[in-house]
Structure 1
């Protein structure tokens, strides 16, 4: 069924479409009540259904028509020309006088309890009769605003439509007004879908995550709030609004809900709005007063706290209250929130209310906020620490102190995963004229300025432009070099990472030299680790592999002496470059656990990026997919768009491995487009690699080689280190199969310089495979293939071992015949099926078929190894009897080789592409294809496709 595409609602749309398709096919009907807060998209779902190819009857509830059966009359008027005289379906059974009861109710508008059952049956009969003529879809918006009598009659009918050709879909608020009817509860959109909505209005990703949070993910709120933002707000340079736009639909809808609440509930809501992080459910008996708001979806319990949802509703409530009422609310909260020395978070909440109530001197409160911020920061609650530090800045009488506290508030906001808030706080930071600067050389900025640039650069590195990050970080390093060498080196290493992301490795080397120039000898372990990392990566990018290995091993020797998550991520990269994947993964676990324990949520997606890489090399594709999905979710929630792009690129790769071409193409297209727009060379390389992997798995060797050629060669294009380490084995395979042996040999030589120095069994196995593919002597190729298979076992890399067995099996079939190849091809096939690598399993199946051994096509969750019965519609494997319902096919006139060629040609491959996939010459393929046409009695490729698609092909 066609209809409007609604972001983030695919599951709900599929569920409703299935119900409508069922009634359209005459398989029965049903009823669904879509429940959700104002602005959650209930009406949009009904609009989607309105395009269904069935008879659509529409109605809606409205407060102005509250007399009994007013709404029912509107429904029946749309359904029948004479609603007062509804036709009874032939043979319908019902109580006497049902039609008369309905007629009286509609004419008089009087609800007679004694007529309710007969009237309900009459309406049900009318719906059933209409459905017998043509399938009917009844959509009712705002059924909770209908008169109660109409609502009850429609619910009666809805509970009895399972066998009728009628579907009833209605919407209401969160309250269940139709007991016994299937409910579909709509919440807010998740971070990813929500940011896609606001991105259409030009909202920056880090701002978008904040907008989604403030709007509670409500689609209508997202659109209206995003559309009302100023350009500076949309870019993150000004604070976001604290309430819904004046006159907006979402504001009017929530105001209507608020007006319907009793006065005690509205008073309790003001108390809740005056508390920035909500209140304890047990607070002063507040929960009882808030029950109507909870039932109406305006208040939720999240994280053990009562909170107004969406937050912009609370902001509007607070802003609309008179100042005197706001102060009174704060004083009441301060009186009830007694401070506890053992509860630093509670102390911040109490101080907040005292300050807002205006009952204490600002200067003394500022000092108390500073102490409270330090206490909660030590416990890993950076979100609360940020609020406390910001309040300290607002209350501080001295400009220097204000700058220091604002910087602390911004840093805490960043670590808490709120880059937009951090950026807004930084925009308020300016050099303090009275700040002491005894160590600052003439004309330099104070330390706060350098640390502010460091933080700006860190945020831009994950959530903005790498070019902006690069400049900010270099500026920070220049300002901090004399005051804080550790911070200066951190800034330079992050600037190097920005250069790596953009593929500017020459600049990376220059930055590394600047960092190493700060080395003085006798460094503490944390700085020594950073210097060793800078030296190792610089040597690697210069092609000095032996030196790089030595320096990167120094990093791993120093890592037990640190628990800093950022230092652990650098050590993880060192381990990956050394080919120590298991150690790298353990380091990512340490880094991630440390970041979570310290509340440094902004660092967690980065640890998951590296965990995904380590699991990729280890062949743990299921675990890697889980890591990438979690990393994508966390990065989207925090608005870390550069991390989002990288995780999407990795998801593209793993989707390819699992045979999910649609997901792979979706993620790869999104990742490469975002990477191109932001100048992110590394995610672009990964996205291109995923697409090339997809081409290679499908047998499109020339396309794969074209994608990988720029990534695999040193010094030729961005991201070449990623290409050398990750993609060269795939490029070599694609290049050999597409006839570019010279390019394959050159790439193998470059890869060998790195793989040999690492000592990694996994890397050396891939090198041996590349050497086997490029060998000119068959004996050398055999030796190299066997060495690769042995090293794969040592490295515990099942997927790459299976790929090597597939390649070796192809080579053996071509040189020695079918019997020599089968064992390797069967082993590869079994491994691919276990790993869920459907595309690669299909290649093995084709190769086995070319040897005369037939298997059914593999699908995810449906292993098709010898010994399992073949799938209906496919021939049983040789040596296995046909089963009932699955007869063995009649003998084919084609040889196994010809059947394989016919299948590949039918998928649109050219002769050259078939030749590359099967390791044949194009002339041989052409010869086989002519024989295929003769044997099958077809004259063209088009006729061959028709024959195979008819199910009677070879």
Structure 2
């Protein structure tokens, strides 16, 4: 859902949803034969995503959950949809081309799914781009009916989005929970159940809203749940509502948001300045229009907000249809004013509305808080800054977030030390993401009265930023040991960050995995994207690229569901780097581009550096060394215009390799000298091996003995480092150097090891490079066909190989096994590499010998006959196989 959605989790019961579940059952009933569309609408936190998850979990066939794309660029929604349905990135790109052509989106989906029963759950249709929405509407109108097969579509949208007219489609509207449903949900959330007075107070404050109820309960301490400590007053305050509605508001057009702020603030204050209570009172339309004119806020969105149901207009008054939405707008309004706020032509009840609505259009550092805000208690102002800082950290300029969070830490230091500690850590995270060392030190320095583990964290990280690592290690090691043993996910994230600074990537991954597990167990939906971001980066640093990509994909979905664009940008950057390992150039370009689209305007230097590094690695793997070196030069440069301070040294080995190949040896030598100083500090286990590889590459033009020595040192030091991909790259560089020195026999060993490692990591592009080098030594890309290697193939690869050996083309195999021809080709390439062969004709030998051996153990087996193109193909090698051998 848009915003931080805290409806019922997928594994929990859905309360007061009998009608909605019945509609889902009608859609997914196997007796209907397939087809059909069901639209589900509901507000933030009311459980749209939970209903989709329940439907997907219970569907007997293939079920796909597709989140809204992070950007509304043309066809971004179709790209996300096909990425979820397609087995490979190439299939997804081909489907996108089909969707843009005459056949349309329905033909593209049909081509990917075939005749399989499938349920496609699309979340947040209102956030999809117009091109994809129009194509989906056409597909639904022209698609097969329930009696003619085809996929079933379950589509969620916000209540203000009007679903397209689709014949036979059903629409259900999620509402609030009744008292019994809300009480049952509360019992599901808490063990042991809260005290009865606490239950009554929470149910009254949440008014049946499941997301608000979950968010309000989660922030209570055990003592507050048991009734031994007083509840926050009010139990549902601005921070709770911002958590639930923040993402929804962030996706509204800017003019609509500003106008809602005018309405909320004008209705909040009457002539005497009193609060409006739980439900904001109505405000005169004329007063709103006057306030909007005074604040220079366009009034044109008003009719649309009324038509969409966000505002209600009756008897000349405006009020919010959802009172929680009005209060969320108030909570997210900037506490600032402007010189024109007290213009005489603005109605008195709307003066505050004018001030705060105009404040959205000006930088906060140019505006001072009004006297009313200054008079508030420091803790209230501190929490206000904390909310704004969190919003900016999730989806705005990170240095704005840093300033707001730093101010929150100062205001909360004496009266709410736990919240001040969180604000300090988040301010440091914001500055870290922005690559600003001085701002990181400022965040660490504002905790002068901290003690215990927090003191260790502040002192240790401060020493590390000053490059006094010997001083930093004891303090940070204590943080890892203490906070790493806690159950609080916030403390676990802090411990994982300390482990990363120490270079202990294994501990960082372990601690961040615990933080993720705790966040899930506590249903802390808003915290999940950050936990996944930290874990993905830790896996990346550890060289576990496949795990990093899997975690980043999950983190990307979580970030998009909660509207955390900055986290999504970081996950796109991680996915780009992981794709550069595999050698998927189009995926690198797509993810890096999406990361940079957010990173550049929001000042996310860390994400931008990762994305640029991924692009350079892809260019280097494609033989574009000069372009890669030019891209990497700014990343390894120190200073404000350089790369991220914590990533600069990690990029150097890649830069040295590209620069040497591009003839920029002098720059490479300078960077390697700086890298040598950093590697000696022991904060990266792979650094000594990578330094030796850099020295070997730089020595290639000199005496062979020196290069050979450093290549040998690099291979030796890679043992036990844990990064198999970098080890394989070293072996590839070593084997290539040996081959060019006309030592093919010596080159085959490292090249063969590199090939096997690349294949194991599914790094197809790098494996092709190693295979070509191996063949250049006189080998056959892995040696003669080994029948024993057949047993190492997966069952799917064995089926494909047998059919290919019997003469079937890729298209015929694809039809037989319900795959795409491109997927068949991908599997065959891996089969050739594993068996050490070059063509389909050579498949006959290992396939026949393996089957012969299997029959010797289990008795005769009936011949397998395959109808290819209408003609029965018998035996192991057919004329078609011989004809197709040349094209393989």
TM-score, normalised with respect to structure 2: 0.57
Q: Secondary structure at the residue paired with 1:187?
A: strand
- Among candidates 409, 416, 423, match of residue 240 of structure 2: 409
- Among candidates 805, 812, 837, match of residue 869 of structure 1: 837
Q: How many angstroms apart in 1 are the aligned matches of 2:513 and 2:626?
A: 39
CA contact (8 A) 1:728 1:751 kept: yes
- Among candidates 206, 213, 224, match of residue 384 of structure 1: 213
**Taking structure 1 as reference, are residues 822 and 640 closer, same or farther at Cα in structure 2, changes over 3 Å only?**
same
Residue number in structure 2 paired with 1:185? 152
Task: Report the alpha carbon displacement of residue 805 of structure 1 after superposing the two structures with TM.
Answer: 0.2
Residue number in structure 1 paired with 2:809? none
The alignment covers a number of residue pairs equal to 598
CA contact (8 A) 1:466 1:499 kept: yes
Alpha-carbon displacement from aligned partner over 1:464-492 (angstroms, at most 9, x marks no partner): 22132122112112212232334323322
Is there any run of 5+ residues in structure 1 with no aligned partner, and where? Answer: 51-138, 143-168, 189-212, 216-241, 258-294, 300-307, 316-329, 352-363, 391-399, 432-440, 891-949
Q: How many angstroms apart in 2 are the aligned matches of 1:46 and 1:470?
A: 37
Task: Report the alpha carbon displacement of residue 595 of structure 1 after superposing the two structures with TM.
Answer: 0.9
**Taking structure 1 as reference, are residues 563 and 583 closer, same or farther at Cα in structure 2, changes over 3 Å only?**
same
Residue number in structure 1 paired with 2:767? 841
CA contact (8 A) 2:239 2:387 kept: no
Where does 1:181-220 land on structure 2 (aligned, <5 Å)?
181-188=148-155, 214-215=157-158
Task: Report the alpha carbon displacement of residue 541 of structure 1 after superposing the two structures with TM.
Answer: 2.9
Task: Report the alpha carbon displacement of residue 366 of structure 1 after superposing the two structures with TM.
Answer: 10
Residue number in structure 1 paired with 2:170? 297
**Taking structure 1 as reference, are residues 799 and 429 closer, same or farther at Cα in structure 2, changes over 3 Å only?**
closer
Residue number in structure 1 paired with 2:14? none
Alpha-carbon displacement from aligned partner over 1:545-600 (angstroms, at most 9, x marks no partner): 33333433232232245322122122222222322222111111110011111221
Q: How many angstroms apart in 1 are the aligned matches of 2:479 and 2:119?
A: 56
Q: How many angstroms apart in 2 are the aligned matches of 1:815 and 1:867?
A: 28
**Taking structure 1 as reference, are residues 814 and 480 closer, same or farther at Cα in structure 2, changes over 3 Å only?**
same
Q: How many angstroms apart in 2 are the aligned matches of 1:573 and 1:860?
A: 39
The alignment status of 1:802 with 2:746, answered yes or no, reads no
Is there any run of 5+ residues in structure 2 with no aligned partner, and where? Answer: 1-73, 87-93, 220-230, 252-324, 337-372, 784-824, 846-875
CA contact (8 A) 1:711 1:719 kept: yes
Residue number in structure 2 paired with 1:485? 417
Task: Report the alpha carbon displacement of residue 799 of structure 1 after superposing the two structures with TM.
Answer: 1.1
Larger Rg: 1
- Among candidates 743, 755, 760, match of residue 817 of structure 1: 743
**Taking structure 1 as reference, are residues 767 and 574 closer, same or farther at Cα in structure 2, changes over 3 Å only?**
farther
The alignment status of 1:620 with 2:547, answered yes or no, reads no
Residue number in structure 1 paired with 2:564? 640
Task: Report the alpha carbon displacement of residue 860 of structure 1 after superposing the two structures with TM.
Answer: 6.2
**Taking structure 1 as reference, are residues 337 and 715 closer, same or farther at Cα in structure 2, changes over 3 Å only?**
closer
Where does 1:577-588 land on structure 2 (aligned, <5 Å)?
577-588=501-512
CA contact (8 A) 1:556 1:575 kept: yes
Residue number in structure 1 paired with 2:449? 518
TM-score, normalised with respect to structure 1: 0.54
Residue number in structure 2 paired with 1:426? 331
**Taking structure 1 as reference, are residues 874 and 513 closer, same or farther at Cα in structure 2, changes over 3 Å only?**
farther
- Among candidates 773, 778, 784, match of residue 710 of structure 2: 784
Root-mean-square deviation (Å): 5.3
CA contact (8 A) 1:389 1:408 kept: no
Q: How many angstroms apart in 1 are the aligned matches of 2:121 and 2:529?
A: 31
Where does 1:758-773 land on structure 2 (aligned, <5 Å)?
758=682, 760-773=684-697
Structure with larger RCO (C-alpha < 8 A, sep 6+): 2
Q: How many angstroms apart in 2 are the aligned matches of 1:187 and 1:427?
A: 32
Task: Report the alpha carbon displacement of residue 638 of structure 1 after superposing the two structures with TM.
Answer: 0.8
Q: Secondary structure at the residue paired with 1:183?
A: coil
Where does 1:190-339 land on structure 2 (aligned, <5 Å)?
214-215=157-158, 243=160, 297-299=170-172, 308=173, 311=174
Alpha-carbon displacement from aligned partner over 1:588-629 (angstroms, at most 9, x marks no partner): 111001111122122222222222223223333222221111
Alpha-carbon displacement from aligned partner over 1:789-824 (angstroms, at most 9, x marks no partner): 233221232211100101111222233532222211
Alpha-carbon displacement from aligned partner over 1:398-439 (angstroms, at most 9, x marks no partner): xx98667414524764899998879636237989xxxxxxxx
**Taking structure 1 as reference, are residues 459 and 807 closer, same or farther at Cα in structure 2, changes over 3 Å only?**
same
Task: Report the alpha carbon displacement of residue 635 of structure 1 after superposing the two structures with TM.
Answer: 0.8
**Taking structure 1 as reference, are residues 33 and 507 closer, same or farther at Cα in structure 2, changes over 3 Å only?**
closer
Alpha-carbon displacement from aligned partner over 1:284-306 (angstroms, at most 9, x marks no partner): xxxxxxxxxxx96334xxxxxxx
**Taking structure 1 as reference, are residues 630 and 49 closer, same or farther at Cα in structure 2, changes over 3 Å only?**
closer
Q: How many angstroms apart in 2 are the aligned matches of 1:36 and 1:835?
A: 31
Q: How many angstroms apart in 1 are the aligned matches of 2:767 and 2:121?
A: 47
